[in-house]
Amino acid sequence: MPFTLEMGRIALAKMDQAVESHREYLTELDSAIGDADHGINMSRGFRKTMEKIQGAEHPDLGALFRDVAMVMMGSVGGASGPLYGTFFMKVSQKLAGKDQVELPQLAEALQEGLNGIVALGKAQVGDKTMVDTLVPALSTLAAEAEGDERSAWDKTVAAAEQGMTSTIPLVARKGRASYLGERSAGHQDPGATSTYLLLNCLRAAALGES
Amino acid sequence: MIGILVVSHSAEAARGIALIASQMSGGGAFVRGVGGSEDGGLGTSVPQILEVLQELLRACEGVAVVPDLGSAVLSARSALEFLDPSEAARVAVADAPALEGAMMGAVESSLGSDLAKVVATAEGARNLEKTRH
């Protein structure tokens, strides 16, 4: 089943809902090691994204995700704004002119998004960031993309969850949390957590859930 | 002339730092500050940074960007992605303390130095001694 423009819109609506319903949780995680604004920032970003895309006509997935990128860059505020903004921008460039894509192409586009995040933030696996969720998730998706779709997405989300929880014992090496040094260990990273939530929404939309 | 762009999480801090840096350079440098999120809170906004950066690029041969903290660096770097490569080549992000870096960079710029020299001087501001004189 190809990933369609409509699925892209559904995925974003699900992301908006997921971020909203986890707003307090994300903020709680961020208050332990950050500046307690991740839930609020993400919720504002997706709320403004929905305002921008609702009622707008997008010719293709590239145009849709480009709008998301622009809103994220402008309205999220913290580091997650430029990072998620760059992610969606790189994905949109890869999907320019396409109103639907097969899973391997979607996996490639998402990998481009991850590459953008790494180039911008210079984080690697083990630094206690969203990269800890994205790397295992997207390498799983790429490896499984040619096979059964549901199984590919289930494994991807499982890998994302594992990546997210892997951040708990880590000492942060990026951002505000890194100023805490050893004291950042023992807390799950908020960015790794929001990334997991978003991937979960993408899975649901891609498998045709409305 | 090299422009200095202070990027802070706070609009007030950005304006204040830019004002101090400008005065310390004897008014001889182009210094601008941009900061705060689009809704007026603390944070940084890529479109806002881009707008001021483009204004400075029209007036100056190059721009040294001096961000305050982590996500200001990310937002500044993201803004560069939206410039033409020829414009982006005239911009550098300095790894410097915001106030001291902007001030030292502005003084260097007022002497007519090029972008590389202005950035190097701004970055050297991390070694400024304040009390051990």
Contact B41 A77 (CB under 8 A): yes
Specify the pLDDT at position A193.
98
The whole-angstrom distance between B63's CA and the closest CA on chain A is 20
Identity (one letter) of the amino acid at A48? K
Q: Which of B41, B70, B81 sits opposite A175 (nearest CB)?
A: B70
Q: How confident is the model at residue A17 (pLDDT cuts 50, 70, 90)?
A: very high
Residues 22-51 of A with CB under 8 A from B: 41, 44
Q: What gap in Å lies between CA A10 and CA A4, rounded to an integer?
A: 10
β-bridge mates for residue B65, sequence order: B5, B93
Give the number of C-alpha atoms closer than 13 A to the C-alpha of residue A152, restricted to the C-beta side.
20
Assign domain A3-207 to its CATH superfamily: DhaL domain (1.25.40.340)
- The helix/strand/coil state of A125 is coil
Q: Does B42 touch chain A (CB under 8 A)?
A: yes
Indicate if the alpha-carbon torsion angle A112, A117, A123, A129 is positive or negative. negative
- Number of Cβ pairs closer than 8 Å across A and B? 59
Identity (one letter) of the amino acid at A121? G
Give ipTM to 2 decimals. Answer: 0.83
Q: What gap in Å lies between CA A85 and CA A148, rounded to an integer?
A: 30
Contact A141, A135 (CB under 8 A): no
Q: What gap in Å lies between CA B25 and CA B106, rounded to an integer?
A: 6
Contact A20, A171 (CB under 8 A): no
CB-neighbour burial class of residue B58 (10 A; exposed 0-12, middle 13-18, buried 19+): exposed
pLDDT tens-place string over residues A22-51:
999 999 999 999 889 999 999 999 999 999
Specify the pLDDT at position A210.
80
Q: Which of B37, B46, B69 sits opposite A85 (nearest CB)?
A: B46
Q: How confident is the model at residue A96 (pLDDT cuts 50, 70, 90)?
A: very high
Compute mean pLDDT per 10 residues along chain B, 133 residues long, and list them.
Answer: 97 98 92 93 94 97 96 95 95 97 97 98 94 80
Contact B45 A85 (CB under 8 A): no
Mean pLDDT of the region A55-69? 96
Specify the pLDDT at position B27.
87
Q: Does B38 touch chain A (CB under 8 A)?
A: yes
